[in-house]
Structure 1
């Protein structure tokens, strides 16, 4: 392998063009190929960021060491298979595949060839998630809220695999439990797949996660709240900000509050919530660009032969839970006439 990893991007729509930009900017790799079914679009990207344009992935086998796969989800495995079989390591945009069976095939192909699969769950590299991980909070309850206007970019999948999948991955990353029960509700509005969904996941370790996603909103919001007996964290992925509330500001007052009979209204005046808890901003490095950090992590894994931060197995686990959520919402008895 040369000093610089030779990189390709397959599919240069909304996300793929950003992959191309970042590969072209990194000093330890070279963007050598851009592949798109629309050769004109591929040519436009190479004029901006370098490399040669192609319209078929078979044309780049043997020319590159790594590749980002950013085509529509239903084509991920079709594009990735020849790359993996040619021992090219791949960064596959989320979700890794449209279903868990296909995801497992991708993992098997990679195991057979020795290629690395990383998955583009870029929220893992969001500064608020990195800050949260440093606190080593063991969550008991998690609430996520992810909404946006409909973009028509991912009409091949529903909102669970399109948007909620980010939160599914983060929750699995935090909870470290793979046994769970799921209840969900959701419905399609603009297409054949669900556009709004809410899911409640009860893990065997006792943690509960409540996830809401909608692509029918008039604004964009991406938020997560994490609770445990000692702390509460509220974070905004988009603004890259958060607060941490802990109960160590006045333990004596907190103890007294627990022992007080609040049926006696006169007792309420003796307590001030803000005085019982410690409220401070989450220490966030807001200069981090999540996608750039994701690609740098992928390239480092390829160069060192180590596991990427978000493995193919992680991606498959997220799809597996997403499938359970979709199955539950399909089984939900939705009868607006009653």
Structure 2
């Protein structure tokens, strides 16, 4: 007997929800996804996205949808402030993949985890960068570095324009962008941060932070120091996504946008030099390897993420990014925000 093709709903069809619908339709054509239902409180948006993608059934009320449809799973792509309320309605009826962040508060996240366990449901969290081919390649490098020399430093810059039209249903840049890199950092290091000190800048709209820089120490053998900077302070055309790892003889850079992975190793000991030319020669003597990662539709991170959730629905296996991982990332982000507001270091309790 073949593997089941799960029937799913996409809840919320804004910009990112529409991407989930597009991907699920492609997976439906591949025989991975079953029937797709749409639900959005905006009737015009729900109707438009359904018609655009050839989807027969759509709803504007989640209660009505749950009353009429027997779902295997739901992808929750509504605004973060609605995640907990909607997930707690869905989990007694079906498994859920909720977009990152898992929720606005830790109490809400705990309630979602408890509901998933009580109802025997899968709770996955949409930390899409975990499915980035660059992160997968970097994980192998990071594991090798950890074994051979340790990782002294991890640094990330994620810069891009903020929400369009000064939308007020967004939280700040920490929930939106910083949470990506904190999650990836924990994944790469296989460790949890124990302390954070953060600085930030608040924007003019609704007092949300538009930039945050968080310095975290990790509880691992190398005592890795990690620097995470997330910023909306850019024009509409500027985007930068860079992640760097430093061992004791190796420096690695992942450019998310270019999908390039560069490794640098020094080849000359830094001994006292006779003159300026000798100093330059010493500093420039490097062994550099660059890999351009193969990209295409089948390696689209969102495609891999949604496929993983659908396969979990069909087989019952644990999702690659589960609710606990989402909870941990949220705890780190909230601690960074506490530090930013208090202007002091904050211990991260586990």
> How does the TM-score come out when normalised to structure 2?
0.87
Alignment-derived partner of residue 185 in structure 1: 199
Residue 327 of structure 1 deviates from its aligned partner by 0.1
Cα distance, 1:122–1:67 mapped onto 2, change above 3 Å: same
Distance 1:95 1:144 in 2: 18
> Is it true that 1:313 corresponds to 2:324 in the alignment?
yes
Residue 133 of structure 1 deviates from its aligned partner by 1.3
> Is it true that 1:198 corresponds to 2:207 in the alignment?
no
Q: Aligned runs of 1:7-86 on 2, under 5 Å?
A: 7-26=8-27, 27-49=31-53, 50-61=55-66, 62-86=69-93
> Is it true that 1:98 corresponds to 2:110 in the alignment?
no
State how many pairs are aligned.
322
| Aligned-partner SS, 1:261 | coil
One of 331, 336, 341 as aligned partner of 1:325:
336
Cα distance, 1:93–1:180 mapped onto 2, change above 3 Å: same
| Aligned-partner SS, 1:3 | coil
> Is it true that 1:243 corresponds to 2:249 in the alignment?
no
Alignment-derived partner of residue 156 in structure 1: 170
Deviations 1:54-85 (A, max 9, x none): 01112232422111000000100111111101
Contact 2:259 2:292 in 1 (8 A): no
Deviations 1:117-169 (A, max 9, x none): 11111111111101111222333211111111222457531111111110111
Distance 2:280 2:202 in 1: 50
Alignment-derived partner of residue 121 in structure 2: 115
Residue 178 of structure 1 deviates from its aligned partner by 2.3
One of 252, 256, 274 as aligned partner of 1:233:
252
Residue 321 of structure 1 deviates from its aligned partner by 0.2
Q: Which blocks of at least 5 consecutive residues in structure 1 are unaligned?
A: 334-338
Distance 2:56 2:188 in 1: 38
Distance 1:18 1:289 in 2: 11
Residue 270 of structure 1 deviates from its aligned partner by 8.4
Alignment-derived partner of residue 347 in structure 2: none
> How does the TM-score come out when normalised to structure 1?
0.90
Contact 1:24 1:31 in 2 (8 A): no
Alignment-derived partner of residue 128 in structure 1: 134
Supply the RMSD in Å over aligned alpha carbons.
2.0
Cα distance, 1:238–1:154 mapped onto 2, change above 3 Å: farther
Deviations 1:209-249 (A, max 9, x none): 111111121211111111112421111112222211234xx
Cα distance, 1:268–1:82 mapped onto 2, change above 3 Å: same
Distance 2:277 2:5 in 1: 69
Contact 1:33 1:52 in 2 (8 A): yes
Q: Which blocks of at least 5 consecutive residues in structure 2 are unaligned?
A: 345-350
Alignment-derived partner of residue 145 in structure 1: 157
Bigger Cα displacement from structure 2, 115-124 vs 145-154? 145-154
